[in-house]
Structure 1
C-alpha cells in the first residue's frame, strides 16, 4: 500500500456488531471483567466521510448532539494517529451520518473510532498495519479491535484477544426499547454473574445458537423493565437476546420476509431494524477495493 496521502474525500461504512454469546468469566484486580464472546458484524451502519485538511486540524462538519468534542471517539481516534504523521500539516474534517443508537450495545462508537483509524491510515498515508491500529484502538475501547480487523470473531480477555470465525448469517430483527443503559452500572452490579466456566471456541461453535446466552441479561432486565418487556414481546416469535449490556436486543430469522414481518409489528412499539449477519466488514471491503 502506498504511504502517500490520499486526496479524498473518503466515505466509509462503520458497521454494527451483535454479541451472539457473552460469558463473564471473572473480574481482574483493575476492575475490568474477563469475558468470552462471539462478535458478529451486521449490515447496520453509520457512514463517515473523511476530508483531508492541510492545516493540521481535526474538525467535525457538525457537532454530535450530546457528545462534547473532546469526548467524541472519532476525534480521539484521529488524535491517536497524530504522532505517526510524516507532515504536521495533515488534518481532517470528519462528517458522520448517524444511524446506530448511542449506548445501544451495537458498538457504534467503537466502530466509528475504528473507521477513523483505518480511514486516516489511508488518507494520511501512514502505512500502519491492522495489528498496530488495533493496539492503538484498544486504548479507546475494548470493542475497537474487532472493528479494526473487520471480521466476526471469538473474543477473550476483555474482548481484545480475537480469533476470526465464520458464523451463520441469518436475518436479525434488532429492537431498541427506548432506554439508555449504563454499562458501568451493569458491570458493578453485585448480582452480575461473574463466574461462568470458560469454554473453548470449538465447544461454543459446536453447541450452536440454541446454547448461547448473555450473562448480563438477567441484570439488565432487572434494572431496566422496558428491556425485559421488549424481550418478552420478541420471544413470541423467536428466541431473543440482549447484545452487550443493551439496550438493544435481537432475534434471528431464517429469511428476510420472516424478519420484516416481525419488524413491521415491532415498529409499532419500538425503534426497529432488520439486519443481515456478515462475516467481513463493508469497511474492509471498500478499503480493499
Structure 2
C-alpha cells in the first residue's frame, strides 16, 4: 500500500468577479478570473484497507461527516468502487468564510490526492465533474490552472495572468455568501464581457460586483478596504471577507503588510498560474 502523502491545498483570488444574471435554478451567472496564490492548507492522506474514511482534525463549526474533505473522499470512493479508505489530517491555515476557497481547495486536494494514493488513474476532467457536486469552486482547484470562469464559475478556460505579490487582509469576521447573493441591492445585471477584454485588466473590468453589498453589510470590511485602497487598488475576493492588493515586489508588499498587521490578520503571497498541488504531483 502506498505511503502517506502530504499535499498543499492552495488559496485562490478572484482577480475580478462580475454577476451577469440570475439563473432559473436561483444561482447567479458569473464571469471571473481565478488565480492561485502560494498560501496553502496542507492535507495528509494515509491509505487504509478497511474502507473507512476518517478525518482526524476537528474544524470549528463543521461536523466530521459534513466536512468537504470527508464528503469528497466518500464521493470518490463511491464513484470508483474502491475498497480502500483513508485517514485524513488537515493543517488549516486559510480562514473559513474568507473568500479564499479554502473548503473547496481542501475538497479538490482530497479528490486529486486520493486518486493518486488509491491508484485510480481517473482523469482530472472526471474528478472536476465529481467536485462540482460539492461546490462551484472545486473544479478550478481540481484542474489546477489560473482560469477564466463562467456559469457559476465551473465553465473554465485556462489563462495566464501576471504574478504579482499580494497583500491579503482578513478583517476578522466571516461573510455569509448566501446572504450576499440574496441581498436585493446586489448588482445582478453587469454586461457580459469577453475573456480577451477581461485579460486586459484594470478598471472598470477588474472589479467585484459583490463589494458594495459586502461593504454595506460588514463595516469592518469597508474599513479595511478603504485603508488598503490608500496604498494600492484593492478589492474583495469572492464574497469576502478577505481583500487584497497587488504589488510589483515582495519588499513593497511586505512594507504594506507590516502596517496592515497592526490592525488585521495579514499575509503576503505570490500569485501563481499553476497550483502547488499539481506541481507536487507532476500534473502540469
Task: With the length of structure 2 as denominator, give the TM-score of the two structures.
Answer: 0.97
Which stretches of structure 1, 4 residues or more, deviate above 3 A after TM superposition? 84-87
Give me the whole-angstrom Cα distance separating, in 1, the residues matched to 2:211 and 2:79.
41
Residues matched between the structures, number: 282
Give me the whole-angstrom Cα distance separating, in 2, the residues matched to 1:272 and 1:40.
18
Structure 2: 5+ residue stretches without partners: none
Partner of 1:106: 100
**Structure 1 segment 221-232 matched on structure 2, within 5 A:** 221-232=215-226
Aligned partner of 1:19 among 14, 17, 22? 14
Partner of 1:155: 149
Give me the whole-angstrom Cα distance separating, in 2, the residues matched to 1:62 and 1:142.
24
Give me the whole-angstrom Cα distance separating, in 2, the residues matched to 1:214 and 1:56.
43
Q: Retained in 2: the 8 A contact 1:85–1:124?
A: no
Q: Retained in 2: the 8 A contact 1:152–1:167?
A: yes
**Structure 1 segment 1-289 matched on structure 2, within 5 A:** 7-85=2-80, 87-88=82-83, 90-206=84-200, 208-211=201-204, 212-288=206-282
Shift of 1:86: 5.0
Q: Retained in 2: the 8 A contact 1:152–1:165?
A: yes
Shift of 1:61: 1.9
Give me the whole-angstrom Cα distance separating, in 2, the residues matched to 1:82 and 1:156.
29
Q: Deviations over 1:73-94 (max 9, x none)?
A: 0000001012244542x10000
Task: With the length of structure 1 as denominator, give the TM-score of the two structures.
Answer: 0.96
Shift of 1:66: 1.7
Q: Cα gap change, 1:52/1:238 in structure 2, threshold over 3 Å: closer, same or farther?
A: same
Structure 1: 5+ residue stretches without partners: 1-5
- Give the secondary-structure state (helix, strand or coil) at the position aligned to 2:65: helix
